[in-house]
Structure 1
């Protein structure tokens, strides 16, 4: 479905507005940035993502000393030379020792570790297809994904193997345990032997990543080597334009998610940067890692930003002076939270972005902090090689700046489709190959994108559409609210009403009426919060997105219990 690079370039018209990228004749928004000859996405068809990544490692004399990854818990360091040798040794062991072949699917079940990017790149180097899963998933969810993806080998952390037993798929452990074959053993004992089979090409499938399923059934997103080469090329460009080439990055985003895989597993090692890897997100451990390793850059999600804003020290002062940039993705960041972050951390750049699994994690980027500060509610401008439309739900017409509609995308990063689901794939693309994101948005007159909310999550109240994200932003502005989520509740008279779930500060004596009044004084009558439930934590996906389905199910259960 995605356009090739040459098609993308040849289709750029001369008649779009240089200020916002909008062409009124076609209704298409174009990126205002063009890549130069040295930055362009490689067009050679016989190229795979692993070869592309390895080709950008530092030269041998520098690779022996330059650190690629640091384990935040143990302090163990992996240089670029060690990383290269580990990838090629494991690829040889998987191919010659275990018989893994091009097109075979490898299921990876593990938390973040130094081994995770090695496993991904080794499998991709052979031409195998990777599919990743959250270790918190249940046995039922894991069995379903293994069977749906048709995995022929599972690579698992030792503590997770019991969930894989019903699949009867061969299991390779990540770490040594009880004499069972492991990734560590293959890396130590296998020397690289040339892999004779034809290498994967850009058009071959590289990964099947399953969407979080926050608004529906989880689907396998099919991404090609071309998709990943494109997104890594754009990431390399973004590191250059944002002057982040000598940063120390902190990774607590799970690598099984597109955000973690594209950014920390594949992209950043093409730039020569150092990545501090955390096994999983923990707020206190994050602060310790920043202090200990002098972290300068944190790609994060809104819940982490909110945690930093609300953090009051808790009796322990951490030195965060090394921090100079924080990025936010996966979900919109409210204007209120951004304002409070800038007040608390005036020397730290905060930049929001937008992407989705179906676009390989990329779509927009702020190239400077001045841009981000001037437009705090925006998700930045389109990345190079991206086109967009804002489409009216009822008429299907492409809309000009400041008109809200569904965001449609075209770029070389856009997925091939959903695995084995022709109906869902057809519903996600129009006849010309535009990806329908399902996100409500608008562009301003300078080409900046504003994500309003997920269309499926809009609350329909008396014929009006209410965006939960808008109400959540207001709630998070309350000094005694740590986190919040808004969901629809069915109502006989109005159709649906907005209901809030709120996490109070520990010492707060906040009441339902106080929360309702706080919000309702700031919104139009049809947007008013009607009910409030206090909760210990808002359920979120690994990427930080609110799991509204869980809250809706909980709400229905509470209603049923009262009957």
Structure 2
């Protein structure tokens, strides 16, 4: 099912102009609009690569669009266009890549990553990014599920793409050091391919452009199909948000993985189209990231909630005086972490947003036009988006401001469906262009969204519903707790009880009983933590979402040690 087009905002006569909610329809509509400069073209034959190329500065051969944080390697806007089209020509003519073929891309962040993304899209092939953290078996499962016919992999990851019995032809992203006689790499093809011989666009807005595998926070990963139209809308919204946020001249830091929808939308597509410079980190390390901010004049950091929480509690002496904005998405930043960050870095704007892979990473964001005091959720609906809050307690009816229920979204970036899974697609896309997110939320009277928790992760304790995020926020307020996650633990008497996984600070001697008492003093009796386990790190997706399924697998009563 295709997402509806990005249309001009129309207000119903009964719509509340403050919240965007219409009581008659039960729909929230965005309070923001795209002007003519940012409204995407309606041409159904337009593909995402052509759209991005049309927005790049035409003759900018000096200003970097991508800069390697370690080596200093630079790609200018002219380099990006020429290299992507040259690679597209080589992939088409020399490798035989054709429209509709699926290309598995297995690489950490590099300045070449956006080039490869645009080249694959320009050929009309379908891009399927994979995490370098995956095992060979996981890579093989993804490649087979997606029907990949070619892999492009970093040298250190190539054995995964070609292994596990897939027999997948593999092209290296760059020449492997010490192997001058190896097969040509994508990097070399960028040099000897002819950009004038790039194949003509062969895909349109309704065609699938990328298949992104969800992190599987509550189940097995599924292939999310985003179309060229979805990507065009994502790029348009990012250009709009950069402009209304006053981000002219900003330099961005890229440590969020580009194989994730958040990183791909920002760094491979949106920021080049917005004319911004991005400093690329191969992998995240706090000290190196903060040093890159100072060394390269970074002003804007798209981050994830754990990074914000770490910065709030950090004792590092980094010079962040030039930093203007830190933005987060996918998962909400805890109130304590957000307050601590703002106290420590009062000159830095902390902007939260909300999205998921199935919505193309987009849905809400905090823009300059909607600056607000602390504690106003994860922003307002982006232009072209609508929402419903569907409450089971209200008989499945949509509720207005203050009401809590499941968030349904409708907008131009909503996925086409799950690859090869009609049942899951039908469950997630019930009709009318709506996407069921599985998130429990509420809107306030000004149209700001608040995420309460994942519906599937609510803990049912003696008939009460306990939200893990509330308990996680309490735990993170403790000065000796660096990170925490709360999951349900089966219990014969109560059904389920809350169990906490806790990461203590290195010098701490905090005990399990002290943690249980700390939480009990601040919550109702039925919400108390009943079990605590210490852990070295909380498993999270690249977007910062806690991988509760992994922890729940650990917390089965049969495998937990006796207290």
Q: Is the 8 A contact 1:68 1:275 kept in 2?
A: yes
Give the 3 Å change call, closer, same or farther, for CA 41–440 of structure 1 in structure 2: same
Q: CA deviation at 1:196?
A: 4.8
TM-score by length of 1: 0.96
Give the secondary structure class of the aligned counterpart of 1:485: strand
Cα offsets for 1:362-420 (capped at 9, x unmatched): 00011129724x14250110000000000012511111110100000000110000000
Whether 1:185 aligns to 2:188 is: yes
Aligned to 1:221: 224
Q: Distance in 1 between matches of 2:500 and 2:236?
A: 41
1:499 is aligned to 499
* Corresponding residue for residue 267 of structure 1: 270
**2:310 corresponds to 1:307:** yes
Q: Does 1:123 align with 2:126?
A: no
2:158 and 2:406 map into 1 onto residues whose CA distance is 41
- The 8 Å contact of residues 241 and 367 in structure 2, kept in 1 or not, is answered as yes
SS in 2 for 1:286: helix
- 1:333 touches 1:377 (CA, 8 Å); kept in 2? no
Alignment partner of 1:92 out of 89, 92, 95: 89
CA distance in 1, matches of 2:107, 2:463: 46
1:420 match: secondary structure = coil
Q: Distance in 2 between matches of 1:14 and 1:48?
A: 37
- Helix, strand or coil at the partner of 1:388: strand
Aligned to 1:163: 160
Once the two structures are superposed, what CA deviation does each residue of 1:200-220 show, in whole Å capped at 9, x if it has no partner?
111111000000001101000
Specify the alignment match of 2:287 in structure 1.
Answer: 284
Report the counterpart of residue 81 of structure 1 in structure 2. 78
User: How far does residue 513 in structure 1 lie from its aligned partner after superposition?
Assistant: 1.5
**Equivalent residue, structure 2, for 1:431:** 431
**What is the CA deviation profile of residues 401-447 of structure 1, one whole-angstrom value per residue up to 9, with x for unaligned ones?**
10100000000110000000000000112232311000000011111
The more displaced of 65-74 and 13-22 is: 13-22
Long gaps (5+) in structure 1: none
Kept in 2: contact 1:335–1:377 (CA 8 A):
no
Which of residues 239, 251, 261 is equivalent to 1:236? Answer: 239
Inter-partner Cα distance in structure 2 for 1:5 and 1:543: 27
Unaligned runs of 5+ in 2: none
Out of 211, 215, 224, the position equivalent to 1:212 is 215
Q: Who is 2:550 aligned against?
A: 550
- SS class of match (1:279): coil
The answer to whether the Cα contact below 8 Å between 1:2 and 1:411 also exists between their aligned partners in 2 is no
For 1:92 and 1:70, the matched residues in 2 are separated by 24
Superposition pairs of residues 113-512 of structure 1, within 5 angstroms: 113-164=110-161, 165=163, 166-177=165-176, 178=179, 179-196=182-199, 199-313=202-316, 317-368=317-368, 371-372=371-372, 374-393=373-392, 395-512=395-512
Cα deviation 1:507-551 (Å, max 9, x = unaligned): 111111211111111111111111111111111122221111111
C-alpha distance in structure 2 between counterparts of 1:199 and 1:414, whole Å: 22
TM-score with structure 2 setting the length: 0.96
Query: How much has 1:492 moved relative to structure 2?
Result: 0.8
- Structure 1 residue 41 displacement after superposition: 2.2
Residue in 2 aligned with 1:53?
52
Q: Provide closer, same or farther for how the CA distance between residues 429 and 461 of structure 1 changes in structure 2, counting only shifts above 3 A.
A: same
Secondary structure class of the residue paired with 1:227: helix
SS across alignment from 2:137: helix
